[in-house]
Amino acid sequence: MKKLTTIVVTMALLMTSKVAIADDDIKNEEFNPITTGVTSLSITPDARGASMGDQGAATDPDVNSQFWNPSKYAFAYSKAGVSISYTPWLRKLVNDIFLANLSGYWKIGSGDNQAVSASMRYFSLGEINSTDDGGNAMSSINPFEMSVDVGYSRKLSEKFSMGVVLRYIYSDLGFSNYSGTDQTTGASAFSADISGYFNTYPMIGRNECQWNLGFNISNIGSKVSYNGGDDPAFIPTNLKLGTAFTFPLADYHNLTISAEANKLLVPARPRLANYDNQEEYEQALQNWKDMSSISGIFKSFSDAPGGFKEELREITFSIGAEYSYNQQFFLRGGFFNENKYKGNRKYFGLGAGFALNVIKLDAAYMIATAQNSPLDQTLRFTLSFDMDGIRNLFNR
């Protein structure tokens, strides 16, 4: 029977998450990151959000709001937009892994207070070789993960909107472990997002400023079941809470300061080290496998072995800033922080953007604080089109 060479190790590195190497002073029993299936759903797709420290729950609406907070589309300035983003992933280790993302929205109705949106993402893990039991190369596969979603957002008042997204998820990681054939088997899931966005314009002195608040509970849905159902996994259900404040520096010059907190609403997988004997561990692991995704959301707030202190460690934080000149030139920066016992991802984001008529180009660059982090020097590019502006050009 054929088997995949180091497929589990490869997946652990290639997806979002716990790629930073823990410090030497981290005790093994305390290093306890949350693990999920289809972790590519957590990868930031667009350059703007990445350059601000991986955040966007409360920043101004843009074409890529579907990932961050789809309720922002109801406040979008243009009637419609489309964007495509490309991220060469783990470029320090390999050169054939990437994330591609396509997003768009269209404001409907005469009141300019509601919008429909959609996005599609494709995460390719490149080529992975398989071997026989003797270690001889047999063939290769190209595992991938993808998702397609549609959303609707609406203003409930002049200052507040809400949105919902429905998503189909497919993960194909390789050969079946039990079929003994070359046929690949994939895992599917369905999920939904619920979000809200509030903005107001307070006066500070003689300046009209802008203050935003936003939340998004994403990927509320079913589990994915690998290996014919023998290895179920929670999808990365996540809670985002963010705020952003924009104030004018001078005519045409604005500065936005933003902050965001995230928590995975996923129960921790049991570890043998936390149980007195093998039997108790096996029972806890089976209970974890049998747990529904909705029960897992509530349990995620109280299941950490280290109690409330460890629950707080599961929250990631990011801060960011964006300078804009006349909404045509942008400079951005941010920092993302994850507790060292929960993955130890810490990195700076830098980026710039340029808008000309109906086209906008954004780029982002990641600088990891750990020298051995494979996420260091990650690049992202996003190209956006103002479809309403394009239509006006043709109607002249």
Predicted local distance difference test score (pLDDT) of residue 9: 37
Please return the burial class of 13, using the count of CB atoms within 10 Å of its CB with bins 0-12, 13-18 and 19+. middle
CB 309 within 8 A of CB 285: no
Task: Say which DSSP state 39 is in.
Answer: G
Instruction: Find the mean pLDDT for residues 240-250.
Output: 95
Which residues, in sequence order, are bridge partners of residue 263? Answer: 239, 315
The whole-number pLDDT of residue 13 equals: 44
Contact 256, 221 (CB under 8 A): no
Backbone torsions φ then ψ of 332, nearest 5 degrees: -140, 155
Residue 284 to residues 101, 270, 387, Cα–Cα distance (Å): 38, 6, 53
Q: What is the pLDDT of residue 10?
A: 45
Q: How confident is the model over 287-333, as pLDDT tens digits? A: 888 899 999 999 999 888 888 888 999 999 999 999 999 999 999 99
Contact 360, 327 (CB under 8 A): no
Instruction: Write down the number of H helices and E strands in the chain.
Output: 7, 21
Do the bridges between strand 238-250 and strand 253-264 make them parallel or antiparallel, or are there none, so unpaired?
antiparallel
Tokens of 356: 């000309």
Contact criterion met (CB below 8 Å) for 385 and 353: no
Whether the pLDDT of residue 170 is over 60: the answer is yes
What's the whole-model pTM score?
0.88
Q: Please, which pLDDT band fits residue 376 given cuts at 50, 70 and 90? A: confident
pLDDT digits (tens, 9 = 90+) for 331-366: 999 999 999 999 889 999 999 999 988 899 999 999
Chain centroid to CA 336: how far?
A: 13
The residue written with tokens 């190790």 in the block is 9
Query: Is the pLDDT score of 80 beyond 90?
Result: yes
Show the domains of the chain with their CATH numbers: 3-394 (2.40.160.40)
Distance CA 376, CA 33 (A): 20
Average pLDDT over residues 25-49: 83
Average pLDDT, rounded, for the chain: 85
- Decide if pLDDT at 96 tops 60: yes
Read off the pLDDT of residues 184-233 as tens digits, 9 standing for 90 and up: 567 889 999 999 999 999 999 889 999 999 999 999 999 988 766 667 88
Start-to-end CA span in the chain (Å): 65
More confident residue, 121 or 37: 121
Task: State the Cα–Cα distance between residues 73 and 112, nearest whole angstrom.
Answer: 10
Confidence at 371, pLDDT banded by 50, 70, 90: low
